[in-house]
Amino acid sequence: MRTTIFRLDGSRVVPEVRQTPDWQPYAEYEGQRLDGVRLFELLAVPSAELQLVEIAAGGGFVMHSSPDIAFCQVVRGRGKLGLPGGTALEYQGPELYVFLPGTLHDWHEIEEDTLLAVCLVKQM
């Protein structure tokens, strides 16, 4: 996925284009093993973090929550979003989820490579 960040240089708007994300392995989250997950951190500012997260078919992301609001768009992919107690919602991109602080969830039974565009909005 091509990504572009627009910055001001004086009064001029300058695009910073990346043809492909600089994916980094994301093998562990808070001491728990992740399967088939990669991360690209687009931008971090005091009030938010912007990320792309990719979960490969057959992979998964463990049950977790955040102290932030997570605006999470499923750009592409298909699988299940798990909630505490065993509830699972089938997803198929494009789809949008907004997780309020502390809401536990996981990503499992990933049938198609899944790309998530995530904005973590910090609680000030």
Structure confidence by residue, pLDDT tens digits, 19-77: 999 999 999 999 999 999 999 999 999 999 999 999 999 999 999 999 999 999 999 99
| Token output for 64 | 């977790």
- Indicate the domain borders of the chain: 21-121
Kindly list the distances between the CA atom of residue 50 and the CA atoms of 14, 33, 72, 83, 118, in Å, as whole numbers in the listed order.
19, 22, 10, 23, 6
Residue with the two structure tokens 């990933």: 110
The structure's pTM equals 0.94
The answer regarding whether domain 21-121 maps to CATH 1.10.287.3510 reads no
- d(C-alpha 10, C-alpha 7), whole Å: 9
Per-residue model confidence (pLDDT) at position 21: 95
